[in-house]
Structure formats: structure tokens, C-alpha cells
Amino acid sequence: MKEIYESVGWAKHTEEIIQRVFQASNIVALAFSEGRLVGFGRALSDGVFNAAIYDVVVHRDDQGRGIGKAIVEDLLAQLESVSCVHLISTTGNEPFYMQTGFRKAKTALARYQSAELATQYLEGGNNIEHSPRNGR
């Protein structure tokens, strides 16, 4: 798994972090080609109302073969009884997820603790002041 993450430039995923996030995920999809792991995805769900898909990753050498789509379809099949599945795409991959049925949400909000991630993923970047007392 670490090699697959690294192949797409996600170098911060240590073996310990990978183990922690997958143990905390209650839905997992794995993709194999010729006996070798080439991709995966994971999700968290309450099993009724909401789920969130994370880390749909296919090794760079195996992309473009429909593996990512198959992973998303597998995750969605495992989540078929859930009424809403959320997903935050990495920048530039929105069209891929839209091909699998995802649409932009009118009311989706996110808060990143990292200024770098906030700048990359949030409208208005990281210039929002956060204060637990005034809710901003």
C-alpha cells in the first residue's frame, strides 16, 4: 500500500499511518492484477444515513485501465443502503468522480487544520479566523 501511495505522490503515508487509517475504516475495497495489489479505497459509514469515501488510489503504472472506477463501484455497492455518500476529491480528479455519479454538493463545507490543505481545497483559502468562542 505504501508503494501505491508513493507512486501517486502521497509520500506522508507511513506504514503506521496506513495501518491506522485502514483499521479505522469499516469499508474497504482492494484491487489486484496478476496477484499483485494495484489499488484500493476505503470508507467510513454509520451504516444508515452517511458515509464518506477516502483514499481511492491506483498505482500510477496501472491507471487508465478502469481499476479506480471498479474500486469506487465496489465501495458504493458496499454502501448501497446508506442514503448519502460524501467524497472530497484530490484537486483535478473531480471529473473522474463525476463519471461515477458524484455531483458537487450545494452545502458541502470542510475545515482543514493544515493551512497548506486549506489553501488547496477551500474557497477563500486559509484566511478564515477560527475561534471556538465566536464560531468563526
Active-site residue set: 97
Helix/strand/coil (H/E/C) assignment for every residue in the chain: CHHHHHHCCCCCCCHHHHHHHHHHCCEEEEEEECCEEEEEEEEEECCCCEEEEEEEEECHHHCCCCHHHHHHHHHHHHCCCCCEEEECCCCCCHHHHHHCCCCCCCCCCCCCCCHHHHHHHCCCCCCCCCCCCCCC
